Amino acid sequence: MSALAVENAEPLATYVVVGDQSLTVSLSDGRQLVLPIEWYPRLKFGTPAERNNWRLVGEGVGIHWPDLDEDLSVEGFLAGRKSAESPKSIKGWLAERGRPRKRQRRSA
């Protein structure tokens, strides 16, 4: 691969920190993006443990939070896109989270 191709490659996420006020994404080109947590309701309403349970997708093209069923992309961050999830969907998701989980019956 030529040096030009490497220089023009889209940056990838390398590390993520989610706090109470912001989402900070470190990129492979050395930049750090700091985005308001308000833009991402599932992260906003997640617990610290859920927010910290993330993994990079596609070697850093995106980030997945399995406990919150949330997937976000570096492309979206760079474009300044907020979550496109509707308020009705978030309300349903929050209601579902408030329900006690059914206990699994053990087989004898």
**CATH code of the domain in which 83 resides:** 3.30.2020.40
Domain count, the chain: 1
Average pLDDT of the chain? 89
> Does a structural domain hold residue 105?
no
pLDDT in tens, 22-71: 999 999 999 999 999 999 999 999 999 999 999 999 999 999 999 999 99
**What are the structure tokens assigned to 56, written together?**
């990079």
Would you place residue 81 in the very low, low, confident or very high pLDDT band (cuts 50, 70, 90)? very high
Q: Where are the alpha helices (DSSP H) in the chain?
A: 3-7, 41-45, 48-52, 74-79, 87-98
> Does a structural domain hold residue 39?
yes
Per-residue pLDDT at 9: 83
Q: What is the pTM of this model?
A: 0.82
Would you place residue 98 in the very low, low, confident or very high pLDDT band (cuts 50, 70, 90)? confident
> Does a structural domain hold residue 103?
no
> Does a structural domain hold residue 70?
yes
88: containing domain: 6-98
> Does a structural domain hold residue 104?
no
Length of the chain: 108
